[in-house]
């Protein structure tokens, strides 16, 4: 089978694929959604640390982290006896290398001395590409019908959110990302070319930072001058949090979320900013918004930005978890404070 991956690289694979190494979490989710989680024989720490999200990944070998891949371990996983059978693929992000993972060009170069290991760059986080990527993965794994079923759900949920916010005045948003150092002069945010900025647009909002980059650093004074309607802090889960969402019944999780939110509420001059004076500051789970669960993210953002719309993000998340064969756990949340 020959096709073009998301780095515009021509890729030839030997079908059927029997073994998979995943170097990014989004790809792991996609493989599990299509019912091939049992084929994952190697994975990075970030995937293995979220076992509750991937119940079908039981015996995968650790192959380093997404930014420090252990290529020797990949080769050991690929070898069967003294040779590598061409039934194994490595799924990773596209080039260039980013803070969130190694690119396909680098991974291909590192493994170029070993025949029969095929490297494929698929991201599964860009709204405009995820349909194409899931369709390609379905073809690669012989799971075309499963990919079609997922994409029907995906398109339906995105359409519901877009219709719900249609005609409403867009809310302005400061979306603080994960890379902030803690200093008010060094706050991380998403740029106008980022997937998150485009998701905010689909959800009936507009990010106050619109420069043509994927990420940027801004000062709190600049944010205050822009007077956003809503402030959202993107916060990752940890292995202690479990999946999905934060445990609202666990004092550690609840305290952490309150501290994150209170830190924003107490920033200088905050009472003059609509987002703070109107109590519209939220902490949003990264894990529930980035990847094949994009419909959950768009539904969550739409409800945050327009609380009166008839959208239930928790129900969308329950439906998504069914694709992963994971049950919703009561007493957990992925938006803090919860939206109606």
- Using CA atoms, how far residue 177 sits from 40, 192, 238, 305, in Å, is 30, 13, 16, 17
pLDDT score recorded for residue 184: 95
Closest to 267 (Cα-Cα) out of 304, 215, 219: 219
Give me the mean pLDDT over the 242-270 stretch. 89
Q: How many beta carbons lie within 10 A of that of residue 56, not counting itself?
A: 16
* Confidence grade of residue 240 (pLDDT, cut at 50, 70, 90): low
What tokens were used for 24?
Answer: 């990014």
Rg (C-alpha) for the chain, rounded Å, is: 20
First to last CA, the chain: 48
What DSSP string describes 7-46? TS-EEE-PSSP-EEEE-SHHHHHHHHHTT-GGGEEEE-HH
pLDDT per residue over 90-148, tens digit each? 999 997 767 678 899 999 999 999 989 999 999 998 888 999 999 999 999 999 999 99
Q: What is the predicted pLDDT for the residue at 241?
A: 67
pLDDT in tens, 38-91: 999 999 998 998 878 888 887 899 999 988 999 999 999 999 888 999 999 999
Check if the beta carbon of residue 171 is closer than 8 Å to that of residue 203.
Answer: no
Cα–Cα dist 278/270, whole Å: 11
Residue 313, Cβ density class (10 Å: 0-12 exposed, 13-18 middle, ≥19 buried): buried
The region, left, alpha or beta by phi > 0 then psi within -120 to 50, assigned to residue 85 is beta
pTM assigned to the model: 0.92
Determine the Cα–Cα distance for residues 229 and 279; give it in Å rounded to an integer: 10
Angle at CA of residue 127, ends 122 and 130, nearest 5°: 35
Helix 195-202 crosses helix 294-305 at what angle (to 10 degrees)? 60
For residues 329 and 186, the model is more confident at: 186
Report how far residue 160's alpha carbon sits from residue 194's, in angstroms, rounded to the nearest whole number: 22
Query: In this structure, are residues 262 and 337 in contact, taking their beta carbons and an 8 Å threshold?
Result: no
Q: How confident is the model at residue 201 (pLDDT cuts 50, 70, 90)?
A: very high
Average pLDDT for the chain: 92
pLDDT in tens, 224-237: 999 999 999 999 88
Instruction: Name the residue among 18, 119, 136 with its Cα closest to residue 74.
Output: 119
Q: What is the pLDDT of residue 57?
A: 87
Q: pLDDT over 90 for what percent of the chain?
A: 74
Domains of the chain and any CATH numbers: 2-143 (3.40.50.1980), 167-336 (3.40.50.1980)
Bridge-based pairing of strands 61-62 and 40-43 is parallel
Angle 5-60-8 from CA coordinates, rounded to 5°: 5
DSSP 8-state secondary structure symbol assigned to residue 239 = G
Q: Which of 40, 23, 171 is nearest to 107 (CA)?
A: 23
Beta-strand (E) ranges in 236-288? 246-247, 281-285
Per the listing, tokens 């070898």 go with 79
Average pLDDT over residues 265-286: 96
Contact 21, 40 (CB under 8 A): yes
Cite the DSSP H helix spans in the chain.
25-33, 45-48, 71-78, 104-110, 130-141, 144-165, 195-202, 220-226, 251-265, 274-277, 294-305, 313-323
Altogether, the residues listed in the chain come to a count of 340
279-287 average pLDDT score: 94
């Amino acid at each position: 089978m020959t096709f073009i991956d998301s780095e515009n690289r021509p890729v030839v694979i030997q079908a059927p694929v029997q073994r998979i190494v995943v170097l990014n979490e989004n790809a792991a989710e996609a493989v599990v959604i299509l019912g091939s989680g049992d084929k994952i024989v190697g994975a990075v720490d970030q995937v293995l640390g979220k076992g509750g999200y991937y119940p079908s990944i039981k015996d995968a070998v650790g192959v380093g982290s997404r930014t420090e891949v252990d290529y020797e371990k990949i080769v050991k996983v690929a070898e069967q006896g003294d040779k590598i059978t061409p039934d194994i693929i490595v799924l990773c992000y596209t080039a260039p290398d980013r803070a969130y993972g190694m690119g396909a060009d680098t991974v291909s170069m590192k493994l170029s001395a070993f025949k029969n290991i095929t490297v494929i760059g698929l991201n599964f986080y860009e709204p405009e590409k995820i349909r194409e990527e899931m369709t390609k993965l379905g073809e690669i794994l012989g799971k075309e019908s499963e990919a079609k079923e997922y994409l029907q759900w995906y398109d339906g949920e995105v359409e519901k959110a877009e219709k719900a916010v249609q005609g409403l005045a867009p809310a302005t948003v400061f979306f603080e990302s994960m890379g902030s150092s803690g200093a008010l002069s060094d706050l991380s945010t998403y740029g106008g070319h980022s997937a998150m900025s485009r998701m905010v647009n689909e959800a009936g909002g507009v990010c106050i930072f619109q420069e043509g980059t994927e990420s940027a650093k801004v000062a709190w004074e600049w944010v205050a001058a822009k007077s956003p309607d809503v402030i959202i802090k993107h916060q990752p889960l940890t292995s202690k949090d479990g999946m999905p969402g934060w445990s609202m019944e666990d004092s550690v999780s609840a305290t952490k979320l309150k501290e994150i939110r209170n830190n924003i509420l107490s920033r200088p001059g905050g009472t003059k900013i609509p987002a703070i004076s109107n109590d519209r500051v939220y902490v949003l789970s990264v894990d529930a918004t980035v990847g094949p669960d994009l419909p959950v993210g768009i539904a969550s953002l739409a409800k945050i930005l327009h609380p009166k719309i008839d959208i239930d993000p928790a129900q969308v998340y329950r439906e998504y978890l069914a694709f992963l064969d994971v049950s919703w756990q009561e007493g957990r949340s992925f938006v803090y404070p919860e939206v109606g």
